Amino acid sequence: MSQEAAAEQVTRETEEAETTEAVETAEDAEAVDSDDAAQATPTAEVVEPTEAAKAAEPADETSAPRLADRPGWFGWRRRYSHAARAVRMGTNVLAGALVLAALLVPNRLDWITVQQFLRLPVEAIFLAAVLLTLPSKARRITAVVLGAFLGLSTILKCLDMGFRQTLARPFDLVFDWVLLNDAADFLKDSLGRTGEVLAVIGVIVLVVAVLVVSALAVMRLADVLARHRPVAVRTTLVLGVVWIICFTLGMQFGGVTVATKSYAQYLANRVQYVRDGLGDAEDFKKQLPVDAFADTPPDQLLTGLRGKDVMFTFIESYGRVAIDDPAMAPEIDATLKEGDARLKTAGFEARSGWLRSPVTGAGSWLAHSTFLSGLWIKNQQRYRTLTTSDRATLTSYFQKSGAWRTVGIVPGVRKSWPEGKYFGLDHIYDSTHLGYQGPYFSWTPVPDQFSLESFQKLEHGKKNREPIMAEIILASSHNPWSPIARMVDWDDLGDGSVFHQIKKEGTDPKEVWKDSERVRTEYRRAIEYSIHSLTEWVERYGTDDTVLVFLGDHQPVPTVTAGSTSKDVPVTIVARDRKVLDKIADWHWTDGLKPAENAPTWGMDKFRDRFMTAYGPQTD
């Protein structure tokens, strides 16, 4: 190549480089925000400042390269300036929407409506005002802290939603953490160990993601406010005035108040909830020693039941809704009438009333301990305090009397249960000691009919035995009520293998829970099965010395109760000896297995003392 040709090529390459540089400079200029353009020097060419000039410039946030001016990954912001601007605007809008959603979302699923998110929260105005008044560094730190806090409160709201769907109450920040371990055990039973691990990992990842996204969203908004400070100040003032006017006039949209302070009220309620919980522990400790029977000599305890076999039987989730709800009442009523007829034919009579449980949806152990201890056990802290105390229970008083062998039939227990000793049980039969070789029915390890038959073989059916006091937990009606066992001939129960085919014929819980009406139907069928199991057992094995007390522990989950706030459960006493029922005549309970609508309703904590008084020595 000649020298002239080489020189011409160098000149051409230089011109192409200058052209490319000019295009990139023009694209960079296009990416500058309008407020930055207003601050730029109105000259035809851009002059780069010297190093000395850069050092002399004030070190505030306007001198630092903004996110919009940075080249981005592989310089995409310079090459696609319009797309970069659209992404930036979209991200800003999304950050604002996330913050507003976190402030406005309620902590109950049934309160979530479109109107809830069309309100003006005073907390958003206050947040903007705080961020506008702070210098750069303090603003960023504050944005991260407030964003993370907003994420935490959102997680708490989600926990509230879940607890309200199962327990009809919000999550207790003081006492409910232990229940998360129970939730993990439930996942293990439902999904297996691998499913449990994956679910827990998923929850942890989701929690971290919520905290990070919330913090980034508030940081993004803080940056936007700083870059558009004059407009942001004016907008914040205008929105503040609008909020005050709307709040003062009580303006509403679609039945929802426009100007809201719901987030602040939510935080205030949670703080009060925690304070009440911490104070409750001290109040409960004062109640523990108060026991009217603590000094009663053993030979004077429960003298009205001496020689009788007494069974305290809990039917899981057997609540008032099963009897009162029009969609379930006809079938349950027929089941109770059939049970009444069977028992009367066998010479038994029954009296029924209502008890108010401390829990609903779940928390059976709290109801059981309330019934047995005579104290209102409404949370896990009270339960732990009770079971580590020397407070006597109804079952331990039977043991203390020395007139009964006390046993527990607890098929739902699949691991160590140290609290069993507290309840005064000489021997405990859990799911591994009942001889069952059949399948699980969802959560339920042992069908109710088999549990009762095992009790007959292991304890009640023995010859030349002493009287028995038994605490029996019937778990077949435990959520999720699918699939459900059905009654088989008692002589065909064997080792429980007969239930394998019955389970195959049952319903799939994943399909059932897609339809709330199917859930209610399966719940009703589960209650029917438990009642049939119990009444047929009494008909088959009951004697003149049999005294059966059976009750529900709590109402089912809100999906079944369909908005009912009642915590009432049925309670029934069955006996062949008429003297046993005569001792509770002044209770004015209803004849039969079905309590009347207006039958007496007591707190579940009142039963222990009334029962012990009725069957104490003064009644002989």
pLDDT at 25: 41
Q: Please name the residues in contact with 441: beta carbons below 8 A apart, sequence gap of 6 or more.
A: 447, 476, 483, 484, 485, 499, 503, 506
Q: What does the alpha-carbon distance between residue 382 and residue 281 come to, in Å, rounded to a whole number? A: 7
Average pLDDT estimate for 585-593:
97
| CATH architecture of the domain covering 297-615 | 3-Layer(aba) Sandwich (3.40)
**Alpha carbon of 556 to those of 531, 539, 578: distances in Å?**
16, 28, 33
Return the pLDDT at 319: 97
Q: Is 21's pLDDT higher than 50? A: no
pLDDT at 461 exceeding the cut of 50: yes
* Structure-token pair, residue 359: 């829990």
pLDDT at 63: 45
Q: What is the C-alpha to C-alpha distance for residues 368 and 412, in angstroms, rounded to an integer?
A: 13
Residue labelled with tokens 């008084």: 613
CB of 378 closer than 8 Å to CB of 360: no
CB neighbourhood size of 563 (10 A): 6
* Residue 72 confidence (pLDDT): 57
CA–CA dist 260, 572 (Å, integer): 49
Residue type (1 letter), 265: Q
58 band by pLDDT with thresholds 50, 70 and 90: very low
Give the residue among 460, 431, 428, 456 at the shortest CA–CA distance from 443: 431
End-to-end CA distance of the chain: 129
User: Count of CB atoms within 10 A of residue 571's CB?
Assistant: 23
pLDDT value at 538 more than 90: yes
Is residue 273 over pLDDT 70?
Answer: yes
Q: What is the CA radius of gyration of the chain?
A: 35
In 3D space, the residue among 451, 498, 503 whose CA is nearest the CA of residue 482 turns out to be 503
Please state the domain extents for the chain: 81-277, 297-615
CA–CA dist 221, 93 (Å, integer): 9
Question: Cβ(358)–Cβ(378) under 8 Å?
Answer: yes
HEC letters along 95-122: HHHHHHHHHHCCCCHHHCCCHHHCCEEH
| pLDDT higher than threshold 60 for residue 17 | no
Give the helix ranges, DSSP H, for 308-406.
321-324, 329-345, 364-373, 380-387, 394-401
What torsion do the CA atoms of 474, 571, 295, 577 make, to the nearest 10 degrees?
A: -90
Q: How many angstroms separate the CA atoms of 103 and 122, rounded?
A: 10
If DSSP codes are grouped into helix, strand and coil, which group holds residue 430? Answer: strand
H-helix or E-strand containing 315? strand 309-315
- Record the tokens describing residue 123, joined without a space: 């907390």
CA–CA dist 433, 454 (Å, integer): 9
Per-residue tokens: 116: 């809830």
pLDDT at 15 over 60: no
Q: Which of 507, 302, 281, 510 is nearest to 382 (CA)?
A: 281
- The amino acid occupying position 123 is E
> CB under 8 Å, gap of 24 or more: what pairs does 251-257 form?
253/115, 253/118, 253/119, 254/113, 254/114, 254/115, 254/118, 255/115, 256/113, 256/115, 256/116, 256/118, 256/119, 257/119
The rounded mean pLDDT for the chain is: 87
The pLDDT confidence band at residue 43, using thresholds 50, 70 and 90, is very low
Query: pTM value?
Result: 0.77
Cα(456)–Cα(541) distance, rounded to whole angstroms?
8
Among 493-502, 503-512, 540-549, the least confident range: 503-512
Mean pLDDT, rounded, for 38-59: 43
| Per-residue pLDDT tens digits for 212-226 | 999 999 999 999 999
Distances, alpha carbon 376 to alpha carbons 356, 366, 367, in Å: 10, 9, 9
Is residue 24 predicted with pLDDT exceeding 50?
no
Region 230-239: mean pLDDT is 95
Asked if the model's pLDDT at residue 501 lies above 60, the reply is yes
Evaluate if residue 103 carries a pLDDT over 70.
yes
From CA 528, how far away is CA 448, in angstroms rounded? 11
